[in-house]
Amino acid sequence: MNEAILDHVKHEGHNIYTFWFRPEKKIDQIAGQFIEVHVPHTNPDSRGIRRWFTISSSSTTKELLSITTKMADKNGSSFKIALRAMAKGHKLKISDPMGDFVLPKDDSIPLVFIAGGIGITPFHSMITYLKDKQEKRNIQLFYGARELDELVFANELKQFEGLDFIPVIQNAPTNFKGQTGFLDSKKILEQIKDKRNARVYISGPEPMVEKFKKEFEELGINKNNLVCDYFPGYN
């Protein structure tokens, strides 16, 4: 495990916060990977003092590393309550980054990113990395959220050249000009530009990811072209 201190916290949207940590030693990260965060606290509930988080920052962000998470409106876990209560300079432990939900090395592969809510975090890491490295990729991003103010990182993501940004809002305001309702596998498939060759990345609550994986396979997407990142504990 690695020692780190809390550098600062940024409020991103409705109950959504980014926690920026300063590791005491350099951490090797590939965009899209996750870490385990330890937050010891008194009277922890059944979920304990450890939790997995996808890194929302890019490895190009020098000296700092971030996670982005959503807090419950009420009756949140003891872990999230303790995390939110931490003051700047608080020490904690994080693991080395791990996971294979990462960009393909072949930059000619067209990419389809499907993010449900806080599942946007690995895509923010990937796109920030590509932008900072001035690398170009062909990306379609379908980003579903309940409310417009839960569409975090939207302004940053839209600035990436070559990104086709497609937000889908469940409870959209009347003046919203994008797609509304829920993310839908059939509708997404209709909009994928290169169905045969596209690498489809799905990130979000575990039930959503399982559902989309099953439906895409039934709709004819090669399972080898499906890459999944499951967020436990979210509906």
For all residues of the chain together, what is the average pLDDT?
93
**In the chain, which segments carry CATH 2.40.30.10?**
2-94
Q: For residue 209, with 0-12 CB atoms within 10 Å meaning exposed, 13-18 middle and 19 or more buried, which class applies?
A: buried
pLDDT tens sequence across 150-166: 999 999 998 898 899 99
Q: Residue 85: pLDDT above 90?
A: yes
**In the chain, which segments carry CATH 3.40.50.80?**
111-231
Q: What is the pLDDT of residue 13?
A: 86
Structure tokens at 197: 């060759």
Q: What is the pLDDT of residue 235?
A: 52
Domain 111-231 has CATH 3.40.50.80: yes
Q: Residue 234: pLDDT above 80?
A: no
178 falls in which pLDDT band (50, 70, 90)?
Answer: confident
Nearest-angstrom CA–CA distance, 49 and 196? 43
pTM: 0.93
14 falls in which pLDDT band (50, 70, 90)?
Answer: confident
pLDDT tens sequence across 179-206: 999 999 999 999 999 998 999 999 999 9
pLDDT tens sequence across 133-144: 999 999 999 999
At 128, give phi and psi (nearest 5°).
-60, -40
Class of domain 2-94: mainly beta
Q: Residue 219: pLDDT above 70?
A: yes
233 falls in which pLDDT band (50, 70, 90)?
Answer: low
Q: Residue 22 in contact with residue 64, Cβ under 8 Å?
A: yes
Picking from 56, 16, 18, the residue whose alpha carbon sits closest to that of residue 35 is 56
**50-67 mean pLDDT:** 94
